[in-house]
Chains A and B, each alone.
Chain A
Amino acid sequence: DVKVTQSSRYLVKRTGEKVFLECVQDMDHENMFWYRQDPGLGLRLIYFSYDVKMKEKGDIPEGYSVSREKKERFSLILESASTNQTSMYLCASTENSPLHFGNGTRLTVT
Chain B
Amino acid sequence: AQSVTQPDIHITVSEGASLELRCNYSYGATPYLFWYVQSPGQGLQLLLKYFSGDTLVQGIKGFEAEFKRSQSSFNLRKPSVHWSDAAEYFCAVAPQGGKLIFGQGTELSVKP
Contact = CB atoms under 8 A, between A and B. Distances in A.
Interface stretch (A68-76, A79-87, A99-107): A99-107
B99 interface: yes
B49 A97 contact: yes
A101 B43 contact: yes
A101 B42 CA distance: 9
Given A90-B43, A99-B100, A43 B34 contact: no
A52 interface: no
B43 A40 contact: no
Interface residues of A, number: 22
A21 interface: no
B61 to A, nearest CB: 16
Main secondary structure of the interface of A (DSSP, over half): strand
A101 B102 CA distance: 14
Contact of B104 (A4, A40, A104): A40
A103 B41 contact: yes
A43 B102 contact: yes
B90 A42 contact: yes
Contacts, number: 49
Contact of A90 (B41, B44, B103): B44
A4 B99 contact: no
A15 B46 CA distance: 35
Interface string B29-48: 00010101000011111100
B99 A45 contact: yes
Interface residues of B, number: 22
Interface string A36-71: 000011111100100000000010000000000000
A44 B4 CA distance: 12
A35 B34 CA distance: 17
Given A90-B43, A90-B44, A104-B43, A42 B104 contact: yes
6 contacts: A43-B90, A48-B99, A90-B43, A97-B94, A98-B34, A104-B43
Task: Across the A-B interface, give the 7 residue pairs with the lowest CB-CB distance, nearest first.
Answer: A101-B43, A43-B102, A101-B44, A42-B104, A42-B102, A103-B43, A98-B46
